[in-house]
Amino acid sequence: MRVGIPKETRLGEKRVACTPESIDRLTKLGLKAVLEEGAGLSAGFMDAQYAEKGAEIRGAKDALCAEIILKVHPPSETEAKAMKSGALLVSFLEPQHRDGLNRLASGRVNAAALELVPRTSRAQSMDALSSQAGLAGYRATIEAAARYPRFFPMMMTSAGSAKPARVIVLGVGVAGLQAISTAKRLGATVQAYDIRPETREQVKSVGAKFIDLEDATKERQRVLLNDKLEQADILITTASVPGRKAPLLVSASTLRRMRPGSVIVDMSAAQGGNCELTVPNEIVVREGITIVGITNYPALVPGDASQFLSRNLISLLTLFWSGSSIKFDLTDDIVSASLAVYDGEVRFRGY
């Protein structure tokens, strides 16, 4: 049976769903890879590296009409149309967009969504949200450092000294924790806040200070947090709730109180933003503050992002593979949770 790996078509995407290293795993499973010509090029993987591992290099159509398709992004209308009835697609599917799922159901394409893999220990090797969020947290911090007009670390030179940058991270999930670690490694002083009190220890364990607001009332919390934000040189916001609009944490009036030259990296830009003035997919300057609204950080680290994603995709695929045919074992909790479209029906009922 063939596994198609088409080239991603979404604007700005540089990742590929399967790297040459993963072709070995497909071969071991008894599967034959069909790669669209040049699909790995923007992530640094040449066709020849795939061919060496035994993959066939073909056109887009051949990759899309395989029995199994591995992708990064949900297929476009044209891509979905090219897929065969009965095929299995494993990919990020953005299941909140019903149209895409309906389209796959009407073409009788079965589809497993990476977003719907439960965050349990058995599913850890398939947790692409976490693998990509970690990379994103790292890359977002690098973006902040590059946009900030000063140093991150303390510097002592013959021309004088510079103080370390003060970084605040809001939201301490996977992306936030990696942002904290990266900022620490770059030499900044870092504070962080999350509404989940259990993150306090995680923040401390990576050498940052937790902003403690637990004993204050809701209104007082807002005031205290705003006072803190005013003192930040760099603010990295990652606060989000799955399937919902991101919480607004930085109002235009708070931003006005920050120092000119400060940088806000709003990692939740695609979910509506944690900052009122964020513009998704743009970098804007408001009141002297640079607000970064990049929405696809993993595409800016495409080599490692593809490597991790490819491993996650193949781990998930193994649950749908009997050794000789595609199987749908709905008694398996990971299969049942991730299978968004099956047998002409949309199974995903919402977050």
* Minimum CB distance to ligand NAD smaller for 82 or for 299: 299
43 CB-near residues (< 8 Å, 6+ apart): 14, 15, 16, 19, 302, 303, 305, 306
Between 40 and 171, CB nearer to ligand NAD: 171
- Tell me whether residue 174 or residue 340 sits nearer to ligand NAD (CB atom): 174
Three-state secondary-structure class, residue 139:
helix
Minimum distance from CB of 225 to ligand NAD (Å)?
8
Minimum distance from residue 177 beta carbon to ligand NAD (Å): 8
Q: Quick one: 13 or 47, whose CB is closer to ligand NAD?
A: 13
For the segment 311-330, give every residue that binds ligand NAD (CB under 6 A).
Answer: none
Nearer to ligand NAD by Cβ, of 40 and 176: the residue is: 176
Which C-beta is closer to ligand NAD: that of 19 or that of 274?
Answer: 274
Decide if 299 contacts 15 (C-beta within 8 A). yes
Q: Is residue 180 involved in binding ligand NAD (CB under 6 A)? A: no
Neighbours of 312 (CB within 10 A): 24
Residue with tokens 């909790």: 333
CB distance 113 to 348 below 8 Å: yes
Q: What's the maximum distance between 2 C-alpha atoms anywhere in the chain?
A: 71
Going residue by residue from 126 to 145, which x/- string records binding to ligand NAD, judged by CB under 6 A?
Answer: ---x--xx--x---------
Of residues 159 through 178, those in contact with ligand NAD by CB under 6 A are 170-176
3-state secondary structure 332-343: CHHHHHHEEEEC
| Closest CB 82 distance from ligand NAD, rounded Å | 27
Contacts 24+ apart (CB under 8 A), 90-96: 90/114, 90/313, 90/316, 90/317, 90/320, 91/17, 91/313, 92/128, 93/340, 95/340, 95/348, 96/243, 96/350, 96/351
Dihedral angle sign, alpha carbons of residues 207, 208, 209, 211: negative
Among 62, 194, 233, 304, binds ligand NAD (CB under 6 A): 194
The 8-class DSSP code of residue 182 comes to: H
Q: Which residue, 175 or 340, is less far from ligand NAD as judged by CB?
A: 175
Segment contacting ligand NAD by CB under 6 A, of 77-85, 156-164, 187-195, 209-217: 187-195
Q: Which of 195, 279, 283, 337 binds ligand NAD (CB under 6 A)?
A: 195
* Bridging pattern class, strands 68-70 and 283-286: unpaired
List the one residue from 22, 91, 268, 306 that touches ligand NAD (CB under 6 A).
Answer: 268
What minimum distance in Å lies between the beta carbon of 297 and ligand NAD? Answer: 4
Interface mask (CB under 6 A) for ligand NAD, residues 281-300, using x and -? -------------xxxxx--
> Considering the complex, what minimum distance in angstroms separates the CB of residue 41 from ligand NAD?
21
The DSSP secondary structure of 310-331, one letter per residue, reads HHHHHHHHHTTB-SSSB---TT
How far, in Å, CA of 228 to CA of 252, rounded? 15
Among 247, 272, 280, 303, binds ligand NAD (CB under 6 A): 247
Beta strands 345-346; 339-342: pairing state = antiparallel
Contact with ligand NAD (CB under 6 A) among 31, 180, 232, 239: 239
Q: Which residues contact 52 (CB under 8 A, 6 or more apart)?
A: 20
Closer residue to ligand NAD (CB): 172 or 291? 172
Interface residue list for ligand NAD (CB under 6 A): 129, 132-133, 136, 170-176, 193-196, 238-241, 246-247, 249, 267-268, 270-271, 294-298
